[in-house]
Structure 1
């Protein structure tokens, strides 16, 4: 039932109930003794009937109005402002590491014949005897006095060249050698050395003075004899490393260390 229709019906119901109340009030008044009692009785009966009729009709209209108004409320949706769907969320990707790739290893690009600098430090072996400990190799120019070792082999396989005296094998995270850098001491003809410690000689300028400063005149390999060493006015001296099958020749007046 429309809102305006309900209002009119309710107004009519109120009017009916009002008429019923008015008639009922007139019926309830005391009779006038001056009048005929029979006539009063005849008049009161229609009024009473009318009051009942008006009241019944009024209450019927009130009941009908309430039914028409309340019944739809139980099944109608309450009006309101619709809320739009939220914008679609952009999925956040899985977090990724921003770790930079490891820097290239300059040692891995070396090739046989290249030189490196290997720091040599004094140390002691398991029995407490003096020895030497090699540090981490670094690339170096062969003309530099610090370039004390030369590359013999480099690759995934262990060293096989009989001249090698140092195998540098850096490990990956699993502990496996990434490569083998096989080194030997860089003896060169025409270069001067301080051989005070023959197990750990060092290159020096030939103007350096010292009891055991020598100049190499030849490097023979494989060889275990100095018979082929060049001689000067004072002859020649040499040092042999039989295990390495290496012979290094010096000037006749030189005094290699022991």
Structure 2
């Protein structure tokens, strides 16, 4: 009998990460769940076990800590090879109406989590997966990484960076049996998106988003974008003259509160 799939997920205490963990739990997966809030993380693990997970190992960890993340990933892989790794942890920050400059410390903190955190999560698993010639890596991006938005400049920059990195990894690792999927969600009803005050076309539940992601990973799709109409629109906007798109974007009233995270030494 085949062993249950082993899935490693960061940001697993809420939102898409938790919903994805639950989706795999219902199929009896072996889970490794990471988050920073011990209480919420343990609650997620209990829910996964009740849903049918073979086990739900938890690690309270900050993705910004490169050495700690390397230890966690290597330990998890050493116990049983990781079949699917999902670099999901992230935070959002942006501008309120009338605000011209994002708070520099908030920007640096967001970049550490959304860019360095993704690198810190994925890098330790690349060589072991390539040695096995098996494995799937999923990197969570955003529609904001497809075409820049004037109300969240640094967040767009962070997601664009992860998009490019995922694209590069995909081409480089495919010959070694490792697939890389870039996840490009639109508006998903999570605590993070609830902070943004704007029109949210195509908004969906985190449970539905998780099922779309899971199905895409099963099919080893290089890009898992949803909703498709929004992804197509953002790709189209990226082809139009910048002045035209910028003018349209300025017509929307959007408030993106800054993250409470702050840069740490």
> What range describes the TM-score normalised by the shorter chain of this pair?
under 0.3
Q: Which has the higher contact order (CA 8 A, sep 6+)?
A: 2
Q: TM-score, normalised by structure 1?
A: 0.21
Structure with higher strand content: 1
**Structure index of larger Rg:** 1
